[in-house]
Chain A
Amino acid sequence: MRPRDVLWSSISDVYQAIINHPFLRELSDGKLSKDSFRDYILQDAIYLEAFARSVAAVAVKADENEFAVLLLNVASGALTVERRSLHEFLMREWGIRPEDLSSYEPNPVNRAYMDFLLYTTNSSTFNEGLAAILPCAWVYREVGRELIEKGSPVPQYQRWIETYSSPEYDRTVDSLLDLVDVKFSKLSSEELTRLKRTFRLSTIYEYMFWDAAYRRSRWPFALT
């Protein structure tokens, strides 16, 4: 069994919950409230910056140049492709300028997820950092693959689905999974167990992220 298969089987319950979450079901059938989607996109635009910085922190620790280059592509791609082509396009439609983004607060789940990623990637090993950043790219690819077949009657939702089911995105995720197979196949079972835990925790945050957007989660008190 390849390391990627071991990882994926360790989160099958979480992934099933993600793919069956009302946010994604309603995104596909077009019933998702525009407010929830807008909330989600804004939170995701905030998140992507922390994600890019986290991936960059893992890239710095790569022992092979090839791995560093791959991760640097993922880091810069998150900001220059994903956020620019998708999030800023949608934000323009809603009259939100990129520079206004800093006035939006990350919701509690987003805050926790970003802090977890930044902490793990900066303070742990290359492998642990890789396990932490992996679910974001991988889960989105799998979700994109499932949803592209159904599509969505709402053009904005359809654009979102297409972003994560594109061949370029597919290739990037495949490269990341190849990297995982190379690096994780050399580990002891104890080490792999620890990384599975990190990977699972990060995937649970993915679930919570969608859930928070769907419920339009807010802080119980004003932050300032």
Chain B
Amino acid sequence: MNENMRTKRWGQEAVETKGWWLAHKWLVLRRVSQLGILAAFLVGPWFGLWIVKGNLNYSLTLNTLPLADPFILLQSLVTGHVPEKLALIGVAIVAVFYLLVGGRVYCSWVCPVNPVTDAAGWLRDRLGIKGGAHVSRNARYWILALTLLLAGITGTLAWELVNPVSMLHRGLIFGLGSAWMVVLAVFAFDLFVMNRGWCGYLCPVGACYALIGKASPLRVTAVKREACNDCMDCFAICPEPLVIKAPLKDATKGVGPVILASECTNCGRCIDVCSKDVFSFGSRFNNAASMAGVARAASKRSTQVGSAS
């Protein structure tokens, strides 16, 4: 049985039917985005070509465009400090952007920790490591609340002392020091302790962005869900598999095909690995359950109501 699972890799079917590129398109684009953003930050200190100054907490692009991280600025506000104009403009731009494209686009397209945890997830699958700690997916929101509480109590940006996201990004640009140990710890945690543990359960940065993108128009949608052949590849590859289930499988309950859960990172891996091209990027507003599904759902509901009375 185990042997069987090892012979068939996730997404193999998609590679066979669609070809390598279409089965990896969004993954490659995502890596290009992550590396490109990092490179834009690095060509300054490395080659003296200053495209972007600063780091993901706050940056100034071409000496004109300010961008600021809402999570860190929120913590700073809680400590009682009101920032200067540039930071406020920067945070407004960032907030509006992620409001439109989906908050956790930050996680899958920008964050430097994502390749680390993706690698851990990939290796975990390769080595066949199963099980581990169980924590609620809501833990991140609790930790988000905790970081704000800590900022208020200590009067300092306490989470910044341990935040692997800013530590890694700042480290790559300004000097890593022992931050690599923190990154290694996250990698080992995801590999041995919890599948997709850091990004999927704990990280308060991702939680904050998930809240920002709660109503984002750009969503992944299971628009051709009738074609699903239950191969489970999307569930296996998705870092947040809970978000897929209802839109993909609950057409009969009148659930629309759009993945509305804000935990979805819009990474597009499900689009890649599906050999039937069930998924695609779309708008959250095209979310009508198919007529057949609605009809079925309505009849089901009426029978339920009938039986209850």
Indicate, yes or no, whether A interacts with B. no
B contacts, CB < 8 Å to A: none
